[in-house]
Amino acid sequence: MNHRNKLELLAPAKNLEFGLEAINHGADAVYIGGPTFGARAAAGNSVADIEKLAAYAHRYDAKVLVAFNTILRDDELDGAQRLAYQLYEAGADALIVQDLGLLQLDLPPLALHASTQLDNRTPEKVRFLQDVGFSRVVLARELSLEQIRVIAQQTSVELEFFIHGALCVSYSGQCYISHAVTGRSANRGECAQLCRVPCTLENRDGMALAKDQHLLSLKDMNQSANLQALAEAGISSFKIEGRLKDLSYVKNVTAWYRQKLDAIMAGQPQWQRASAGRSRFTFTPKPEKSFNRGSTDYFLHDRQLAITSFLTPKFAGEPVGKVTRLGDKWLEVQSGETFHNGDGLSYFNQKNELVGLRVNRAEGHRLFPAEAVRGLTTGTALYRNHDQEFEKLLEKKSAERQVGVTVQLSETDEGFMLQMTDEQGIRAQAMLPLAKEAASNPERALNTLREQLAKLGNTMFVADAVELSLSQPWFIPVSSLNALRREVAEQLEQARCAAYKRPEPNLQRSLLAVFPQQKLSYLGNIYNQQAAAFYRQHGVSEIAPAYETNQQPDEVSLMITKHCLRYSFNQCPKEREPGFRPDHLVLKMGKETFRLKFDCKRCEMHVLGKLKQPKNQKYGKE
C-alpha cells in the first residue's frame, strides 16, 4: 500500500503520562523529547520512560517518534550518537532531526524524519532530504495547499504537516531573535518567545502606527476544515503542536482530530488508519475549550488578514456573553451558557488589556467573583478560558482504546478450542480439554457462551463478533470458559507485540544528491564540522557558521516571516494604488529596535537586528 494512503494522527507528549493518554485518545503516533537534543529543552524525558511509552504504543501498532531536532556542537556529537543507540534499544520508531551532521555518524537503523526546523518549503529541498536518507519530511507551516501538492507530486517521501496549535511567526529554524537578545537559541531548544511580547511599530517620522501591541504574535493553527484537502494533496501525517501544553489539551485536541480523521476515512477505502484500535471517549471533544489564541488556517488558502493575535498572546477563551448589571460583589451576564463554580472568565479592559477573574459562586447568570473586579463595565464582552465542568471530565479517565477481535469457539476431539483474530489478522488460540455434555437448556447455554466470550473488558480488546462453531449446544462451566478466554486474550496481546515491526529506515542514501544551494549563510544553521562536511559532500562550496557561533556582529535578518506588517497596516504595495510608496518601518520591543525589510517578490518580511553581546566562537566549541 502507498504510504501516503495511511493517515497518521501525530500527537505531542510532554512526558510518559501525556504520551500514554495521547495513545488512549486515538493518536497513531506520538512525538516526545529524549533526555537532551530536543527543540523543547523544558520537555526532556528519560530513555526508560520512552521505552515504557514505546511498549504501550506498539500494542496498538502506534509509533513513538523522538525529537532530536537541535543543532549540535562538535563536543555533543558523540553523546548524540550514543543516545541514538539507546533510543533504538528502547524501541523508538524514528528520530526527528535538524542537524544534518548526524547523517555523518554511525547511527542505528532508525527511520529519520526531517524536522520542520530544516525549513522545508520547496520540492528541491524535500527531494534532496529524501535522497540523502530521510523517510519523512515535516513541511513548513507557511505552505499553501497548492505548494504542498507540488511537493507531493515531485517526491515520494512521507509528508507531515502541522494541523493544530501554536504558530512560530518566523520560518522554523530561521529565527535568531531570541539568541540575539537573550543568548537563548531557538535552534538549541531554548526559545525565549520574544514574538509574544508587546511591540510598537513606527514609521520613518517616528509616528507610532501601533503601540504596545503583540505585533509578531499569531493566532493558533486549526486545520479542522482542511484535513481531507490536505490528505488529497499528499499529507499522510497530521501533527498537533504542543509538547509544552497541559494534559487536558492533549486529550481534548487528540480526540477531536481522531473523530475528524475517522469520519474522512469512513467509506473511503483509498485511506486507511495508521494504527489499530478504537478510542471511546467519556466527553465530547471541543478544541475551542483548550488553550488557543484564536484560530487560523494560516496560508493554506493563500494570504489573508486574520492570522494575527495583536491584542494578547494569552488564551482569552470562548465568547460567553455580555455584562448586564454590576453589584458590589457580583455581576450578571446575558448569556446562553451555563456557568459553574470555579469557571475562569476574562475580558478586555478600557486599555485593551486582557484581565482574568475566577467565579467563586455561580447562581444562574449572577456570578460572584473570587476577588474584587476592576475596570469592568456593563456591556463588556466576557470570555470563558476555564470551563470547570469540562476540565473535571478530563481530569478523570476520559478514554479507552480497544482493538476489535472476532472470537470463535469450536469443537475438537478432546473438547473445545477458542480462537481470537484481531482487526489486523493477528491470531491466538488455546484448547480446553473437556468431556462434552449436552446442555439441559440449549438456548440459555448458547446465550451464556456468547455473553461470557464477549467479556473482554479488562483487556485491550473488544469483541466485534462471537462465532460458535458447534455441532450442538454444550454445557461448559463458566469458570472454565472465563479462564480460556483470559488465556487467549493474553496470548493475543503477546502475539501483537511479537508481530510489531518498526518502520524501515530509508537506506537509499545518495552521495550524488546535490543540495539546492551552493552557498550557505548563517541561515544554514551549520554548528559543527560534521554538518559542514556533509554539505560540502553534497555540492555546497561556501559555508558560513551558524548564528549561534556569534560571528555575525552586524545587522542581519533575525526573523524571516510570511506575516507582513505592511500588509496588516494597509501598506502593501501590491494591494494599494499604483505609485503608492510604503513607509520605512521599525519595530520597537522594550529597549530593542529592529528595522523591517520587505521582500515583496517573495512576499516576506525580515526583522533585522544585531547581536546584543557578540562573542567570537568557532563551530560549536565553547
Rounded CA gap, 358 and 388, in Å?
10
* Per-residue pLDDT band at 470 (split at 50, 70, 90): very high
Determine if the pTM surpasses 0.75: yes
Tell me: pLDDT of 88 over 60. yes
280 and 391 Cβ atoms separated by less than 8 Å: no
- Set of cell numbers at residue 94: 524514528
Listed residue (381, 308, 387, 295) closest to 346, CA to CA: 381
**Residue 89 is inside which H or E element, if any?**
helix 77-90
Rounded CA gap, 303 and 310, in Å?
17
Rounded CA gap, 454 and 457, in Å?
9
HEC secondary structure over 459-474: CCEEEEEEEEECCCCE
* Per-residue pLDDT band at 619 (split at 50, 70, 90): very low
Q: What is the mean pLDDT of the chain?
A: 95
What number is the average pLDDT over the span 181-198? 94
Listed residue (308, 330, 339) closest to 167, CA to CA: 308
What number is the average pLDDT over the span 346-371? 95
* Per-residue pLDDT band at 579 (split at 50, 70, 90): confident
* Per-residue pLDDT band at 582 (split at 50, 70, 90): confident
Tell me: pLDDT of 71 over 80. yes
What number is the average pLDDT over the span 71-75? 97
**Which CATH fold would you assign to the domain 314-395?**
Thrombin, subunit H (2.40.10)
pLDDT in tens, 552-571: 999 999 999 999 999 999 99
DSSP state letters, 366-412: EEEESS---S--TT-EEEEEE-HHHHHHHHS--EEEEEEEEEEEEE-
Tell me: pLDDT of 115 over 90. yes
Domain ranges of the chain: 3-167+219-275+283-289, 314-395, 402-490
Percent of the chain with pLDDT over 70: 98
- CATH homologous superfamily of 3-167+219-275+283-289: Aldolase class I (3.20.20.70)
What number is the average pLDDT over the span 198-203? 96
**Residue 64 is inside which H or E element, if any?**
strand 63-68
Q: Under the phi-then-psi rule, with left for phi > 0, alpha for psi from -120 to 50, and beta for the rest, what region is 105? A: beta
Tell me: pLDDT of 42 over 60. yes
- Set of cell numbers at residue 173: 529554524
Tell me: pLDDT of 424 over 80. yes
Given this model, what pLDDT does residue 614 score? 55
The whole-angstrom distance between residue 183's C-alpha and the CA centroid of its chain comes to 27
What number is the average pLDDT over the span 408-427? 97
